[in-house]
Amino acid sequence: MGQWIDLQAADGTPFSAWAAHPPGAVRGAVIVGQEIFGVNSHIRAVTDRMATRGFLAIAPDLFARFTPRLDLGYSEADVAQGRRYKAQAEAMPDAILQQVQASAQWALAQAPCKVGMVGFCWGGLVTWRAAAQVPELSAAVTYYGGGMTSQRERTRRPRCPVQAHFGRRDTIIPLQEVLAFAHATQAQAAHQPPVQTHIYEAEHGFNCDLRASYDHDSAIQAKDRTLLFFDQHLALPLP
């Protein structure tokens, strides 16, 4: 369904994005935040599936400043390469958020709608930051957001409702940090939009059916919760 389009961040940086239009009326828009593997086949598939649900969906190439249209697999070599680009991106977090904002503004220019974001792994961290810093967002969903449970990140105050999905057996994101994140966001519930935290009997990357850590039951439950969340906060009713 999707195709590559060309956009530009506020600092003038050009970047590509995979964009998919729904077959019928636009019910809302969703930005898809990539993992460290780039806008690869998994991220493009997620974007296309969002479009089938009636959302205008767009996955910005968040590594465009370093290696345009990176498309990695999941081998140890791919992980090492992706981590190198992530380290470069983490040195300029505000520039990355400019690309998220440009994607949101593109969506709003296509159709009058509300915009949300869903992000995976490093894209989950970017989504958590965007929920606090990108005013165009009306909802955000994170999947095993690497780094967002750290003491520094969990003090952020989102401007929109957030739903977060984590795996109990995730060896990258310690369960203790996840529980601390849930506690911290619950403690701030009276002063910020709500943050839902869901924990599954699964490993890191449980949503991706191309990885050994894929867990079908957890992925389906998380998907259903995500779509319901976006239906509640973004979407016009299905016909």
Question: Mind telling me the catalytic residues?
Answer: 121, 170, 204
Report d(CA 43, CA 2) in Å as an integer.
11
204-64-86-76 Cα dihedral, nearest 10 degrees: 60
Largest CA distance in the chain: 46
What token pair was written down for 103?
């994607």
* 73 C-beta neighbours (distance < 10 Å), count: 14
> Measuring CA to CA, which residue among 163, 107, 153, 166 is closest to residue 126?
153
